[in-house]
Structure 1
Amino acid sequence: MKQYLVTGYDYTDEGALERRMNVRPHHLDGVKELKANGNFIAAAAFLNDEGNMIGSVMMLQFESEEQLDAWKKAESYVTQNVWESVDVKPIKVAVI
């Protein structure tokens, strides 16, 4: 499988955190599905100085870039305007 580092940066408008928190249960359901399908490696949220979530990083793996693109188009943080931008880089996770 091809592995990817996905970095999502949240919108910074006044309602951004509330929108994230409202969408978060749907996002986590999607992460559970990724894990069940063997696509999930690891994930975390970025925090600001106040401890509020302002972005995400996910390590995922897919058989093809088409599967990655399909996931990205359906990801609730993308479709519900939580992530303003998404950066995807190919990676190779170290096996230790």
Structure 2
Amino acid sequence: MPQYLITALDYTDDQALDRRMATRPAHLEMVKKLKASGNFILGGAMLSPEEKMKGSTMVMEFENEAAIQQWLDQEPYLLQKVWEKVDITLFKVATV
């Protein structure tokens, strides 16, 4: 199954962090579902120098671009305007 590196940057307005924190439980529930289905490999929050969350990075795998779009259409961080910009790049986790 193709793997992807997903980098998502948060909005930078004054309410951005508040929206992130309010939406975080729903986002983490989505991540749990993605992990259970085998789509989520790893991920976490990107931090500012002040250690405040400012975005997300994930490694995921999906069957095809339609499956990625289905996830994006349901992702709480997009629906609640937490993520402003999402970049998706084909990726391959190294096996050592």
Does TM-score exceed 0.5, indicating one fold? yes
Q: Give CA-to-partner distance per residue, 1:13-49, whole Å, 9 cap, x none.
A: 0000010000000000000000000001000111111
Whole-angstrom distance in 1 between the partners of 2:42 and 2:78: 19
Q: How many residues align?
A: 96
The TM-score normalised by the length of structure 2 is 0.97
Moved over 2 A (4+): none
Whole-angstrom distance in 2 between the partners of 1:69 and 1:6: 13
Within-5 A mapping of 1:76-95: 76-95=76-95
Deviation at 1:95, TM superposition (A): 1.2
Deviation at 1:82, TM superposition (A): 0.1
Within-5 A mapping of 1:3-18: 3-18=3-18
Q: Which runs of 5+ in 1 are unaligned?
A: none
Q: Which runs of 5+ in 2 are unaligned?
A: none
